[in-house]
Amino acid sequence: MPLHMTKIAFGIDSPQALCRRLDAQRESWGEEARITTRYRPTRHEELTGGSLFWILEHALIGRSPILGFEQREEDGRWWIRLSPQLIAVQNVPRRAHQGWRYLKDEDAPGDLPEGEDRGDVLPGPLLGRLAKLGLV
């Protein structure tokens, strides 16, 4: 069972903007996208094959499969190598946090069913409020 991680889509204002950012990285890295982290996760072997779930507006909105980790020679930081696709998932409320956090497979939201649009899903802040009230 793979392990996943969560990360805030910093500086991104919509899922479409995140898709554009991931797509733009294909020019630099070929068939992958990369983000940096100061330290390699201690459970990096379990994460390879899992997904990075993106947090936008206090909700998990999509995932990008994790291809692996690679150390940067210039400064010792680490690349998180990702598939440059954003797979839409069912919105799940998630508080903002710095860096990344682990996410167990059983706690990860499912992919949106074929043909379902992200617009059919409640926005993150509203979903969070409804969840606090026990309505979703």
What pLDDT digit, counting tens, does each position of 60-75 carry?
A: 999 999 999 999 988 9
51, 4 in Cβ contact below 8 A? Answer: yes
Q: Say what the pLDDT of residue 125 is.
A: 64
Single-letter residue type at 9: A
Q: For residue range 1-52, what is the model confidence (pLDDT) as tens digits? A: 789 999 999 999 999 999 999 999 888 888 999 999 999 999 999 999 999 9
What's the average model confidence in pLDDT over 111-126?
65
CA distance 28 to 95: 31
CA distance 124 to 74: 38
Class of domain 3-132 (CATH, top level): alpha beta
